[in-house]
Amino acid sequence: MSTQTQQQIIQEEPIAAIATPVGVGALAVIRMSGRGVPGIADKVFRKTGDPDFRAEDSKGFVAHFGNVYDREGMVDEVVALVFRSPNSFTREDMVEFTCHGGPVVVRHLLQALFDAGCRPAEPGEFTRRAFLNGRIDLLQAEAIGEMIHARSESAYRTAVNQMQGNLSRKLDALRQRLLESCALLELELDFGEEDVELQSRDDLRQQLMQLSDEVQKLVDSYRQGRLLSEGVATVIVGKPNAGKSTLLNTLLGEERAIVSHMPGTTRDYIEECFVHEKTMFRLTDTAGLRESDEEIEREGIGRSYRKIGEADLILYMLDISQPEWQQEAEVIREFHDTYGHAKLIVIANKTDLAPDSEERILKLREETGCNVAGVSAKRGEGIDVLLGLMGSMVERLDKLHEASVLVTSMRHYVSLRNAADAVENALSLLGAYAGTELIAFELRSALDYVGEITGKVVSEEILNTIFDRFCIGK
Ligand code: GDP
């Protein structure tokens, strides 16, 4: 950190963009960053009651009330907030104008700034500068993006946690230890012919085993991290006409899936999200489980089997009012054996049509050993109980990994897995009494993989893919 705060900030060319959503609102914020932006502000901004005011002479963190003018006259009343390098989000000089939130006002104000010397910012350019100037690391930059896009409380919390740098600190510590082992090995190599061991091979093995363990824990945390950031992948399966689309609509509260009386009309799968309490569920309605001659429908069924395998949670729905309801117990038992108790909830639908549904449900529970929720998807009855059951299943999934730091992004997961492999390779080489050079090589690549995550070692290509996903003004 200390080297970063002392780093000389090279201010880049001035950029400007709207930082709030485009549209009508009470207020909008336009931000500028880069070389000479206080001077650019001075070309357009007049502070009320202080004709001699110059943003260029202003201290940082101070707000000034006044008007913005262009060639034609007054544009709007604004609050100008000045930040002085390095104490700003980008570590460059920054000025933010809070103006009235109309699209035309914003366009005029931005145009005034472009005329005065700014260029329009690229998507993610402010955050990119914050990263390049060492204000935040790559993980924190990504966390800002995830926080903005978070659709559930849990996803938001995880992003905030990452933004605060908890994962970064953990990775930096890991990297430091790898670096020490690696440096000792490389030093040994520098001694050339002489047979020196600066670190006993037993100590090195101990070190690496511990490291491997910690990296693996992070790799494993991705499962839970993904549940939080992407939502719980939930599939609804069952025979045609069981009421799957109806349930989906009830859960989503709107008419999304096509509900029909003809068996086999949900040909493909549809994916929709909803948030219950703190958890986001990603719901997929699959094609009905039924032998079919139709080509398209068969493809749909094939896909639904794949989806079932990938799901975190399986909702098996049957029509409890049908005379043959008991025949499905066999299929449900098979599901139970294949996918396990922790993932499966049986939904006995159309309780409104079966007066003895409670007895049937009890029997189903006994025969299959599964959690069974009785509902009427059409009338919206029993949905609370079902949601409660889904929530407690997820809690159980969550408990599988009570890691304090979670990996939530595919990019981080892949780098960590590569790092774990490299450490494993180093351990095997060590076991085979391989040459120091080979072991050092594996540790060096593990180091690079970990460095890739926080941005210590990073290519332009990775930066572009990350920041291109941001919106303009971030
Ligand atoms: P899917 O093929 O499993 O997606 O089944 P649908 O959701 O298309 O439902 C098939 C039929 O059953 C439709 O006519 C629905 O209105 C009806 N249905 C679904 N749920 C219920 C329910 O709880 N009670 C009753 N009475 N009818 C239902």
In a shared domain, residues 297 and 246: yes
Please check whether residues 268 and 194 belong to one and the same domain.
no
User: Across residues 432-444, what is the average pLDDT?
Assistant: 91
State which of 239, 249, 259 you would mutate to test the pocket of ligand 1, scoring each by most atoms of that ligand within 8 A of its C-beta: 259
Q: Is the CB of 286 under 6 A from ligand 1?
A: no
CA nearest neighbour of 60 among 88, 91, 84: 84
Q: Domain containing 45 — which CATH number?
A: 3.30.1360.120
Residue 474 resides in a domain: no
Q: Which atom of ligand 1 is nearest to the CA of 239?
A: 3
Distance CA 213, CA 215 (A): 6
pLDDT at 258 over 90: no
CATH number at residue 330: 3.40.50.300
The Cα 133–Cα 116 span in angstroms is 25
In a domain, 444, yes or no: yes
Give the structural domain span for 375. Answer: 227-400
Distance 241 CA to ligand 1 centre (A): 6
Model confidence at 150: pLDDT above 80: no
Sheet holding 119-120, edge to edge: 45-47, 62-70, 73-83, 94-101, 25-33, 15-18, 119-120
Same domain, 322 and 245: yes
What DSSP state is assigned to residue 36? T
Both 239 and 276 in one domain: the answer is yes
Q: Binning pLDDT at 50, 70 and 90, where does residue 394 land? A: confident
Q: Whose CA is nearest to atom 24 of ligand 1?
A: 350
Ligand 1 within 6 A of 377 CB?
yes
The Cα-based distances of 403 to 162, 176, 222 in angstroms read 13, 21, 10
Tell me: do 207 and 235 sit in the same domain: no
473: which 2 tokens?
A: 């003004």
Ligand 1 nearest-atom number relative to CA 263 = 2
Q: What is the pLDDT of residue 269?
A: 55
Mean pLDDT, residues 362-384 taken together = 93
Question: Residue 381: pLDDT above 90?
Answer: yes
Ligand 1 pocket residue status of 14, Cβ below 6 Å:
no
Distant-in-sequence, close-in-space partners of 181: CB < 8 Å, separation ≥ 6:
199, 204, 207, 208, 443
Of all protein residues, the one whose alpha carbon is nearest to atom 25 of ligand 1 is 350
Residue 322 vs residue 335, higher pLDDT:
322
Last residue of a domain, one of 383, 400, 417: 400
pLDDT level of residue 389 (50, 70, 90 thresholds): very high
Mutate to test the pocket of ligand 1, among 236, 237, 245, 246 (most ligand atoms within 8 A of CB): 246
Give a yes or no: residue 463 inside a domain. Answer: no
Q: Are residues 336 and 242 in the same domain?
A: yes
Q: How far is the CA of 252 from the centre of ligand 1 (A)?
A: 15
User: Residue 108: CB within 6 Å of ligand 1?
Assistant: no
The answer to whether residue 464 sits within a structural domain is: no
pLDDT at 261: 46
Domain total of the chain: 3
Domain end marker among 400, 421, 445: 400
Please state the three-class secondary structure of 323-352 as a single string: HHHHHHHHHHHHHHHHHCHHHEEEEEECHH
pLDDT 10s digits, 455-471: 887 777 778 877 877 77
Q: In the 8-state DSSP scheme, what is residue 58?
A: P
Output the CA 231–ligand 1 centroid distance in Å: 26
Q: Are the CB atoms for 100 and 28 separated by under 8 Å?
A: yes
Cα of 322 from ligand 1 centre, angstroms: 12
How many Å lie between the centroid of ligand 1 and the Cα of residue 242? 6
Single-letter residue type at 425: N
CA–centroid distance, 288 to ligand 1, in Å, is 13
Kindly state whether residues 364 and 232 are assigned to the same domain.
yes
Measured from the Cβ of residue 358, the count of other Cβ atoms closer than 10 Å reads 13
Residue 461 located in a structural domain: no
Domain membership flag for residue 280: yes
- Rounded-to-integer distance, Cα 81 and Cα 75, Å: 17
Same domain membership, residue 395 and residue 260:
yes
pTM above 0.75, yes or no: no
Q: What is the pLDDT of residue 29?
A: 96
The C-alpha atoms of residue 123 and residue 471 are separated, in whole angstroms, by: 5
Residue 357 lies in a domain: yes
**What's the pLDDT score for residue 210?**
94
DSSP classification of residue 259? P
| 71 and 128 together in one domain | yes
**Domain assignment present for 446:** yes
* Segment of 53-67, 138-152, 220-234, 263-277 carrying the highest mean pLDDT: 53-67
Atom number, ligand 1, closest to the C-alpha of residue 258: 8
410 and 330 housed in the same domain? no
Tell me, yes or no, whether 286 and 357 share the same domain: yes
Do 205 and 92 lie in one domain? The reply is no
Whole-number pLDDT of residue 455:
86
Torsion of Cα atoms, 157 then 162 then 163 then 167, to 10°: 150
Residue 180 belongs to domain with CATH number: 1.20.120.430
